[in-house]
């Protein structure tokens, strides 16, 4: 898809989003002072900055994108990247696959429960289906565990000295919490 068509597709999804900022009274005054001088609203200023930072639907140009990236890369939080499974999956562009596998795991668990309560199947049929589904479930869970192991063994993951309290379960919960927050804004 060419850039113009992609941009038109993105423009069609523009709508108000609510993101809460925690600012001091002094920072609010400074923000309004800055935006008042430029003729922008705070929302317009932040929209422009975000557009440059993420090379978004609208951008103010290549220099602005470069400065926004430089600012981000220079801040302390840029150096914390890859300390979580979420950041690792985003970096290797595998988050969608990971989430799809989690969904298949949930569906397979439900299918096992449904099979166990099926009144029309014989015990042998139930056992065969449960055995097959259990095997599939183990394969999907192994796939999820492999993502976590690869993260732990990755250069950034190993360098971040992942705390012992980080487990696959806590990382999955972190991902699901992040996704829920994103989904409330994105759709």
For residue 152, the model assigns a pLDDT of 87
In this structure, what are the phi and psi dihedrals at residue 14, rounded to the nearest 5 degrees?
A: -70, 130
* Residue 162 clears pLDDT 70, i.e. is over it: no
pLDDT digits (tens, 9 = 90+) for 95-136: 999 999 999 999 999 999 999 998 898 999 999 999 999 999
- Band (63; pLDDT cuts 50, 70, 90): very high
d(Cα 156, Cα 162) in Å, to the nearest integer?
10
Q: What is the pLDDT of residue 21?
A: 92
- Pick from 87, 85, 51, 52: nearest CA to 67: 52
Mean pLDDT of 9-26: 91
How much is the average pLDDT of 49-78? 89
Question: How far apart are the C-alpha atoms of 104 and 136, rounded to whole Å?
Answer: 10
Query: What is the per-residue pLDDT for 147?
Result: 95
Q: Centre a 10 Å sphere on the Cβ of residue 105 and count the other Cβ atoms it contains.
A: 17
Alpha-carbon distance values, 120 to 114, 128, 131 (Å): 11, 14, 18
Residue percentage of the chain with pLDDT more than 70: 91
Q: How confident is the model at residue 3 (pLDDT cuts 50, 70, 90)?
A: confident
What is the average pLDDT across 66-80?
Answer: 83
Residue of 8 and 144 predicted with greater confidence = 144
pLDDT confidence tier of residue 77, bands split at 50, 70 and 90: confident
Please report the pLDDT score of residue 103 as a whole number.
97
């Amino acid at each position: 898809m060419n850039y113009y068509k992609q941009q038109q597709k993105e423009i069609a999804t523009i709508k108000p989003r609510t993101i809460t900022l925690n600012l001091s009274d002094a920072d609010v005054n400074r923000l309004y002072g800055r935006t008042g001088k430029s003729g922008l609203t705070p929302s317009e200023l932040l929209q422009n900055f975000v557009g440059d930072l993420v090379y978004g639907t609208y951008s103010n140009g290549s220099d602005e994108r470069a400065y926004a990236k430089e600012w981000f890369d220079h801040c302390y939080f840029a150096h914390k990247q890859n300390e979580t499974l979420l950041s690792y999956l985003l970096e290797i562009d595998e988050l969608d696959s990971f989430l799809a596998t989690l969904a298949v795991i949930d569906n397979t668990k439900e299918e096992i429960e449904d099979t166990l309560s099926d009144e029309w199947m014989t015990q042998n049929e139930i056992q065969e289906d449960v055995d097959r589904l259990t095997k599939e479930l183990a394969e999907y869970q192994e796939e999820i565990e492999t993502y976590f192991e690869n993260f732990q063994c990755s250069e950034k993951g190993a360098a971040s000295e992942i705390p012992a309290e980080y487990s696959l379960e806590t990382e999955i919960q972190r991902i699901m919490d992040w996704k829920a927050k994103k989904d409330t804004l994105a759709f």
